[in-house]
Amino acid sequence: MTTPAADLGRRAVSRRGFLGATLAAATLAACSRPAAPGAPVGAAVSATDLTGARIDLAAPARRVVTIPIPAASMVVAVNGGPDVLVGMNASAQQAIKGGYLGEAFPQLLSVPSDVAGEDFNPSVERILALEPDVVVQWGDRGTGLVAPLTGAGLQVAQLTYGTQEFLEGAATLYGNLLGKQDRSTQLVAWMQEQRKVREAAASAGRGRKVLYLSAVAQGVKVAGKGQYNDFTTRLVGGTNPAGELPGTPGVDVEQILAWNPEIVLLGNFDPTMPEQILSDPRWAAVEAVRAKRVYRVPLGGYRWDPPNQESPLMWEWLAGLVAEDRVPASLPESIRTNYQFLYGTRPTDAQIASILRVGPNKGTPGYAGLGT
């Protein structure tokens, strides 16, 4: 994972998103083989994971353990509820506890979260005790993360990370494994439709310099070339000043002063808040600091900065900040209507304010008048 590395809904109701999505648009570039939609309960299912490995289940999965951090909330979203999730990564549960899903589905707070270490090495005995139908694990970080699971006789669905195509492939894979292809198809179609919307409007971003910080407290790290936040910035018409550097390199304040970004984004894997940057004299000469355009990235059903089921909402949020210097007036309703599909619930005004981090972002130009 490049960052420091979602239930009861039965229909799509967003006039901006799912209702406008053409289901036939959900064509994936060999990320996951589509299965027949609407697999009957009890019918055998087959899927091909993102590494090309085949998974055969006697019936749609009803007990799922997820080790990759973004996977837990996305399984909830594709499933249309939390009942299939029996184990998850501790960092995933931390996001759920601090975000919307912890309120919408408090039972997720008691799902075991000790299935793997911070390095994603599986706790095989603990996972076996949960009797999963399938375990979701990273497939692009060496065989050492997968072999202990398969060696114990567990079915493993492997993910690869970092691109929009991989994200859509993961959604399709979950739909196949869970027998919820109708929901995963709608989710992917929404993403593809909204990507086209953002691409068509990208010129409004005027190439403004947007710097995403994945870490600050223990040393500044930025999203470089090929990272998902680099993709998001370019998608909405911004420019990533760190876009020529590979990976998530560490940089010093002098380098940031040289880049002089117009907008700084603080990621959800680090505790640093905008006020800390705005009050730090070392950052005072940075354009984003002088203009108070330092923003904490939202956290909804999951953290908005990594690729996840809510990524089109992240695109909408950032597009407004880049093109119009404000959170789009349309975004709260986009959240409500798309959450109705993803989670079967519509957030309250207070919950939307929490999702958008109105408190930490208060006083910034993009949040002027929002939540007041």
Q: What are the extents of the domains in the chain?
A: 18-196, 202-367
Q: Which CATH class name applies to 202-367? A: alpha beta
pLDDT band at 246 (very low <50, low <70, confident <90, very high): very high
2 versus 267: the higher-pLDDT residue is 267
pLDDT band at 34 (very low <50, low <70, confident <90, very high): very low
The predicted structure's pLDDT at residue 12: 33
* CA angle at 183 for the pair 180 and 188, rounded to the nearest 5°: 120
Token couple for 127: 């996972």
Give the pLDDT confidence of 146-168 residue by residue, as tens digits.
999 999 999 999 999 999 999 99
pLDDT surpassing 80 at residue 143: yes
Asked if domains 18-196 and 202-367 share a fold, the reply is yes
pLDDT surpassing 90 at residue 76: yes
pLDDT band at 42 (very low <50, low <70, confident <90, very high): low
pTM, entire model: 0.89
18 versus 342: the higher-pLDDT residue is 342
Give the pLDDT confidence of 317-350 residue by residue, as tens digits.
999 999 999 999 999 999 999 999 999 999 999 9
Residue 132 to residue 199: CA distance in whole angstroms = 40
Give the pLDDT confidence of 214-224 residue by residue, as tens digits.
999 999 999 99
* CA angle at 99 for the pair 93 and 102, rounded to the nearest 5°: 60
Stretch 246-269: mean pLDDT, rounded?
98
Contacts 24+ apart (CB under 8 A), 22-27: 22/189, 22/193, 23/185, 23/186, 23/189, 24/189, 25/188, 25/189, 25/192, 25/193, 26/168, 26/172, 26/184, 26/185, 26/186, 26/188, 26/189, 26/192
Residue 91 to residue 66: CA distance in whole angstroms = 11
What's the CA dihedral at 182, 319, 30, 79 to 10 degrees? Answer: -30
Residue 48, strand partner residues: 54
Q: Which residues of 263-280 are buried (b: 16+ CB within 10 A; e: fewer)?
A: bbbbbbbbebbbeebbee
Token couple for 301: 């059903």
- Do 148 and 142 form a contact (C-beta atoms < 8 A)? no
Residue 88 to residue 64: CA distance in whole angstroms = 9
Residue 4 CB neighbour total at 10 angstroms: 13
The predicted structure's pLDDT at residue 370: 82
The predicted structure's pLDDT at residue 201: 96
Give the pLDDT confidence of 179-204 residue by residue, as tens digits.
999 999 999 999 999 999 999 999 99
SS3 322: helix
pLDDT band at 52 (very low <50, low <70, confident <90, very high): very high
The predicted structure's pLDDT at residue 205: 84
Task: For the domain made up of 18-196, give the CATH fold.
Answer: Rossmann fold (3.40.50)
Residue 216 to residue 237: CA distance in whole angstroms = 25
The predicted structure's pLDDT at residue 371: 61
Residue type, 294: V
Residue 134 CB neighbour total at 10 angstroms: 25
The predicted structure's pLDDT at residue 10: 31
